[in-house]
Structures are given as C-alpha cells and as structure tokens.
Amino acid sequence: KRLLLEAPGTYHHSILVGNLAEAAAEAIHADPLLVRVGAYYHSFGKLKRPYFFIENQMSRDNPHDKLASSLSTLIIRLHVKDGLELAREYKLPPAIQEIIEQHHGTSLIAYFYQRALESE
C-alpha cells in the first residue's frame, strides 16, 4: 500500500513488470507466483526517494537535472540497497530479497553515462 500512495508510478511499473514476468515464468515452467511477487517488490527501495525516479515525477522538475551524473547514478543504484533493507525490515522471504538485490545486475546506467560523456 505504501508503494501505491508514496510512489504511484513505481507501483504501476511493478504491476506491469509482474504481469510480464509471470507470463515469462509460465512459458519456461518457472514459478510464476514467485516471479510475480518478486516483480512487485523489485523496486521497493524507491520508497526512500521516490521523486528521483522519472515514473514518480508527476509535476516536479527532475532533480537529476541539477546533479552530477555520478551522484545521479549513485542515487539510482541505491534503490536496490534500500529495497533490500526494507525487505529485511518487513521480513520478506530470501527468494524475494534475492530478486530485489539482483534486478539491475551489473549493467551500466547508460543515460547518466552518456550525459557524463557529453558534459566532458
């Protein structure tokens, strides 16, 4: 409920990801319920700073416009750590915690990388 009230864009995103992930899990005979629930919680950490994520910027300026790309990247990455902390606080099962922890992998945050290159 907090996600719906405090980060409605993230809530909507998570519902859509849940639908897609469940269909994918069914197609490969994985656990569709685990995958759906994991998708619902994957961006749980955005509750700490919802306004830093574009899907929650309904009528606000984008705060990243005033930040260095390196700081913006850190803030985006922190939602994974924050989500894991919340998951532990709420005693979510280890399998859900693992989904939260791994949902961005080790990939580059391309938008801020490009912005940093352009500003040099």
Domain of residue 26: give its range. Answer: 2-119
Can you tell me the distance from the alpha carbon of 47 to that of 58, in angstroms, rounded to the nearest whole number?
15
Listed in sequence order, the residues at least 6 apart from 40 whose beta carbon sits closer than 8 Å to its beta carbon are 14, 15, 18
Which pLDDT belongs to residue 110?
Answer: 82
Pull the structure tokens for residue 51.
Answer: 């306004």
Which pLDDT belongs to residue 53?
Answer: 95
Can you tell me the distance from the alpha carbon of 31 to that of 6, in angstroms, rounded to the nearest whole number?
29
Which pLDDT belongs to residue 4?
Answer: 96
- In tens, the pLDDT along 11-59 reads 999 999 999 999 999 999 999 999 999 999 999 999 999 999 999 998 7
Say whether 103 sits in a helix, a strand or coil. coil
Domain count, the chain: 1
- In tens, the pLDDT along 62-111 reads 999 999 988 999 999 999 999 999 999 999 999 999 999 999 887 778 87
